[in-house]
Amino acid sequence: MPFVKPSNKILVGGTPLSEELLTEGASVKPGLFVKKGSGDHQVGLAGDKARNVLGVVDYDARYPIADAFPDKHPVRVLKGNIVVVCTLKSGQNVAKGARLMAAANGELQEIMTQVVDESGTGSYTLYFDLLVGYAEESVDASGGAKPIMVRLVI
């Protein structure tokens, strides 16, 4: 049975590991990837090509799903073998199954690769940065950031 993208929640399927942490700053929103903040109990948005992603922020029914949480607000950070709704960075166009990594502001982008040619004796592909998940649907965000279902591997 295919996954169905909800419009009012982050968790699509699976049983997550969750950790309750506090936001650092007022830019953390549901569906964005976070990293450790100043303290182990705090989180801020993961940056471009971040290798220290902790998970994705779940929604809080007390706030609209598109709104950022206030500073020092408790949030649930989800991780594990789950499917979640995240945000694909503007300018990206990915197919289902694409390998995804962190982009600026807690969003996602396709993993950059580089094919290395061994002077005609063979070639191999280098995968840069941290894999955070696989696209569970094809999404064209060429015209602006869009929600995307992702199977996490963190």
For residue 94, is it within any domain?
yes
118, part of any domain: yes
| Residue 49 burial by Cβ neighbours in a 10 Å radius (0-12, 13-18, 19+) | middle
pLDDT in tens, 73-121: 999 999 999 999 999 999 999 999 999 999 999 999 999 776 677 776 7
pTM of the full structure = 0.90
Q: What is the pLDDT of residues 8-36, one digit of tens each?
A: 999 999 999 999 999 999 999 999 999 99
In a domain? residue 115: yes
Phi, psi of 106 (to 5 degrees): 80, 5
Provide the domain count of the chain. 1
Nearest of 118, 138, 153, 145 to residue 3 by alpha carbon: 138
* Residue 20 forms part of a structural domain: yes
Structural domain range at position 75: 11-152
The answer to the question of residue 78 being in a domain is: yes
